[in-house]
């Protein structure tokens, strides 16, 4: 346990001093506030820019708070996800390749402590970023469009946390299993591209981890199917445990890949 | 009772045997030099002893320890540190990971850093360190938990002559408190601190013993007489029925120096010098490494 703590502190210091704990949350805040602001002021912006033909009438749909949270979620799922994956995809493989892991691995350190410290710190960064991002989105949504129930908002947030933990389990375990390049390719295929595929042909099934974030937003909209939500949540949690075990196993298996 | 027992250690990578059936023992508080040309398998051998690399066959046993990693300190040839940690943070982390209790860990880390000469760089980020400072930090992280066995891979090869001398002196001091196994391809460094020499060549242990014994074995002593002219050298060589190399004539050591001088006194030719020579360390290295058949 002591070693896990030591390693966790080391990971925290890395995220803090390399500014990962600053710039990744900032990206999420920017993504979060952009949708409510842009949608609300779009009419004014277009009017101010001008060049509209005489008598041109624009129809803007009436947006509900949940629509804006859904839009923000879309941003997090595309840009935010790529940022998170690329920030942590090298967390184990890069240390092995540049030799910094060597002086850790010669000490009596367990693969479990090594993997868990990295996964937990990556998840913390993701959770902090998502919280701030959604807080920013909610702040402007509530000012410009109206508020939502706090319990619904929290349910949505917690659902998204599970998704973030899932994303980080995949990212860090791929980093444990492969070289950075291969790991990045696989994580990008599973996560952002998986999301795209799920959006295109996902209407044929209801239970996949990729749908989890949208189910979270449906809490706010009040349209969630609790059965589907629960099944998706359970599937995601099971997959998290599986990726975690795979990650620990891979960390152990690739112990000797570290550069001496 | 010996501290480290290495038996029939072998490592093969897809058909190529890098370390081939290497066996040796190391006594407590001794210094052992692992010598060999580049690619002889020194680093691979070390990696297997540390447990970083799994051997194909053979055993490594540290007396009284189940997890060898708890009782060793290791300095790789090119130690890499986390650039965003300070020297003190790094050594403290290393100590804690090796199981030093948290009570006095900071105090001990500071002492260790002062000992290796980094007392004024405690709070500097390791990314600002020079090559010599990195090597010192590498030694600090290897000794902070007071390991029974210290493994150093080419500890001085990358340093300039001053740094080399300083680090060798440091290691000599350390040898009072711990057992050291280090690899090098520079015999002059080995000469400064060694009880036992292990010669590796193409993965095989071709020679082992004390450096003095090896020096004696490969010394190949002879007399070298140097003449002023090649003509005179030729005459003398044919008279003595021995080999000649330019102006120099080599004589076996079955005569005493006095006899040689008496023989030479009868010669008319001008003599520049007469001396008894033995193979230099470099020549021994080459001979053991099999690059030279005769010297």
Among all residues of chain A, which has the CA nearest to that of B91?
A: A103
pLDDT at residue A157 tops 90: yes
pLDDT at residue A1 tops 70: no
| Average confidence (pLDDT) over A197-221 | 84
Structure confidence by residue, pLDDT tens digits, B239-276: 888 888 888 888 888 888 888 888 888 887 888 899 98
In terms of DSSP bridges, do strands B149-153 and B72-75 run parallel, antiparallel, or are they unpaired? parallel
What residues of chain A lie within 8 A of the CB of B84, using their CB? 13-14, 17-18
Is there a contact between A256 and B79 if contact means CB atoms under 8 Å apart?
no
- The hierarchical CATH code for the domain B4-217 is 3.40.50.300
pLDDT at residue A112 tops 90: yes
In terms of DSSP bridges, do strands B196-201 and B204-209 run parallel, antiparallel, or are they unpaired? antiparallel
Max mean pLDDT range (A57-71, A207-221, B86-100, B209-223): B86-100
Burial of A159 (0-12, 13-18, 19+ CB in 10 A): buried
| Per-residue tokens: A220 | 């706010």
What residues of chain A lie within 8 A of the CB of B141, using their CB? 103
Q: What stretches in chain B show pLDDT beneath 70?
A: 291-295
ipTM: 0.87
pLDDT at residue A31 tops 90: yes
B47, B81, B99 ranked by CB distance to A100: nearest = B81
Among all residues of chain B, which has the CA nearest to that of A109?
A: B97
**B164-169 — which CB contacts under 8 Å span 24+ positions?**
B164/B189, B166/B117, B166/B132, B167/B132, B167/B135, B167/B136, B167/B139, B168/B192, B168/B193
| Per-residue tokens: B24 | 């040796």
Does residue B93 contact residue B139 with C-beta atoms inside 8 Å? no
| Cα separation, A107 vs B5, whole angstroms | 20
Is there a contact between B85 and A13 if contact means CB atoms under 8 Å apart?
yes
Is there a contact between B53 and A104 if contact means CB atoms under 8 Å apart?
no
| Cα separation, B237 vs B239, whole angstroms | 5
Q: What percent of chain A has pLDDT over 70?
A: 98
Among all residues of chain A, which has the CA nearest to that of B94?
A: A104
A30 — pLDDT class (breaks 50, 70, 90): very high
What residues of chain A lie within 8 A of the CB of B49, using their CB? none
Specify the pLDDT at position B140. Answer: 94
Specify the pLDDT at position B83. Answer: 93
| Cα separation, A247 vs A119, whole angstroms | 9
In angstroms, the separation between the Cα of residue A259 and the nearest Cα of chain B is: 10
Please enumerate in sequence order all residues whose Cβ is within 8 A of that of A198, keeping only pairs 6 or more positions apart, or say none: A208, A210, A211
Is there a contact between B69 and A106 if contact means CB atoms under 8 Å apart?
yes
What residues of chain A lie within 8 A of the CB of B78, using their CB? 99
A2, A13, A105 ranked by CB distance to B52: nearest = A105
pLDDT at residue A108 tops 60: yes
Structure confidence by residue, pLDDT tens digits, B182-193: 998 877 777 778
Phi first, then psi, for residue B220 (nearest 5°) are: 50, 65
Specify the pLDDT at position B295. Answer: 40
H/E run at residue B26? strand B16-26
| Average confidence (pLDDT) over A23-38 | 94
What residues of chain B lie within 8 A of the CB of A3, using their CB? 96-97
Phi first, then psi, for residue B276 (nearest 5°) are: -100, 120
pTM of the model: 0.87
């Amino acid at each position: 346990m002591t070693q896990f703590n030591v390693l966790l502190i080391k990971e925290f210091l890395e995220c803090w001093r390399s500014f990962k704990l600053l710039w990744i949350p900032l990206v999420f805040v920017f993504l979060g506030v952009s949708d409510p602001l842009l949608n609300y002021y779009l009419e004014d912006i277009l009017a101010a820019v001008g060049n509209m033909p005489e008598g041109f009438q624009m129809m803007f749909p009436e947006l509900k708070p949940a629509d804006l949270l859904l839009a923000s979620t879309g941003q997090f799922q595309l840009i935010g996800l790529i940022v998170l994956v690329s920030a942590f995809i090298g967390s184990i493989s890069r240390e092995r390749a540049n030799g910094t892991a060597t002086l850790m691995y010669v000490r009596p350190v367990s693969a479990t402590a090594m993997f868990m410290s990295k996964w937990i710190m990556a998840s913390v960064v993701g959770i902090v970023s998502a919280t701030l991002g959604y807080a920013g989105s909610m702040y402007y949504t509530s000012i410009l469009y109206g508020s939502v129930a706090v319990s619904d908002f929290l349910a949505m947030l917690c659902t998204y946390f599970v998704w973030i933990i899932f994303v980080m389990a995949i990212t860090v375990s791929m980093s444990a299993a492969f070289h950075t390049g291969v790991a990045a390719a696989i994580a990008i295929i599973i996560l952002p591209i998986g999301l795209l595929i799920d959006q295109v042909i996902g209407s044929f099934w209801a239970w996949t981890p990729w749908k989890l974030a949208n189910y979270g937003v449906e809490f706010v909209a009040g349209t969630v199917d609790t059965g589907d939500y629960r099944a998706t949540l359970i599937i995601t949690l099971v997959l998290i445990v599986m990726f975690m075990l795979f990650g620990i196993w891979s960390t152990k298996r690739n112990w000797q890949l570290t550069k001496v | 009772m010996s501290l480290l027992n290495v038996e029939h250690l072998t490592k093969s990578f897809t058909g190529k045997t890098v370390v081939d059936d290497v066996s040796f023992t190391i006594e407590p508080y001794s210094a052992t030099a692992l010598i060999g040309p580049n690619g002889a398998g020194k680093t691979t051998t070390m990696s297997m002893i540390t447990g970083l690399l799994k051997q194909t066959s053979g055993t490594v046993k540290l007396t009284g320890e189940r997890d060898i990693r708890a009782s060793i300190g290791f300095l790789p040839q090119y130690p890499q540190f986390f650039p965003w940690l300070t020297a003190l943070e790094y050594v403290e982390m290393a100590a804690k990971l090796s199981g030093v209790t948290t009570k006095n860990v900071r105090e001990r880390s500071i002492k260790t850093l002062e000992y290796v000469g980094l007392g004024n760089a405690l709070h500097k980020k390791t990314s600002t360190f020079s090559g010599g400072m990195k090597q010192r930090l590498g030694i600090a992280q290897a000794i902070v938990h007071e390991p029974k066995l210290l493994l150093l891979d080419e500890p001085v090869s990358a340093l300039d002559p001053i740094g080399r001398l300083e680090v060798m002196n440091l290691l000599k001091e350390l040898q009072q408190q711990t057992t050291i196994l280090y690899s090098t391809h520079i015999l002059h460094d080995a000469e400064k601190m060694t009880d036992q020499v292990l010669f590796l060549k193409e993965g095989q242990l071709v020679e082992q013993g004390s450096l003095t014994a090896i020096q004696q074995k490969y010394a190949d002593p002879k007399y070298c007489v140097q003449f002023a002219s090649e003509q005179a050298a030729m005459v003398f060589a044919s008279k003595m029925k021995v080999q000649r190399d330019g102006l120099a004539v080599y004589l076996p050591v079955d005569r005493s120096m006095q006899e040689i001088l008496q023989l030479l006194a009868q010669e008319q030719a001008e003599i520049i010098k007469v001396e008894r020579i033995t193979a230099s360390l470099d020549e021994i290295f080459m001979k053991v490494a099999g690059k030279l058949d005769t010297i």
